[in-house]
Amino acid sequence: MKIIVGLGNPGIEHQRNRHNTGFIVLDKYAEGLGLTWEASSKFDSEIIIQKDFILVKPQTFMNNSGNAVSKILGYYKVDPKDLIIIHDDVDLSFLGVKKQFGAGPAGHHGVEDIVEKLGTQDFWRVRIGLGRPLGNILVEDWVLQDFSEEEIEKITQLDVGIPTL
């Protein structure tokens, strides 16, 4: 069984934020399969449970993602090697995709929390590029800004190869 987690922040005010790239990609994936999210207070997440995989959108806010991820892995007794985390990355150009296994968090606070809570970085990461902000915009502010309509369209058309991992 695979656990596929999209990282983001809960709430309508964050729905279109760059930092919600993991949620956006996972929403599109679920929609393409005709699946519907269910709230799970047990896992502090929205989840979709299927025979071979579970889709997860933690509702704990980005920097506390490890709480939800560790709960669901523990409950289903899934090895972290079968965990896939989909998240935004400012170090990749816009729409760039990089898949890595066992890589460090590289400054991504959501991934840092998951590594801390699981005690390992031996899981898959699908990094989706945002690019760096232009001008004097801080990265912390950049990731909390909304995508434009054109950017959202491109993100939702992005194939990150979830079934191939």
Residue 108: active-site member:
no
Question: Given 14, 19, 108, 109, which residue is catalytic?
Answer: 19
Q: HEC profile for the chain?
A: CEEEEECCCCCHHHCCEHHHHHHHHHHHHHHHCCCCCEEECCCCEEEEECCCEEEEEECCCHHHHHHHHHHHHHHHCCCHHHEEEEEEECCCCCCCEEEEECCCCCCCHHHHHHHHHHCCCCCEEEEEECCCCCCCCCHHHHCCCECCHHHHHHHHHCCCCHHHC
CA distance 40 to 50: 15
Q: Report residue 127 as tokens.
A: 């990094």
Active site residues: 19
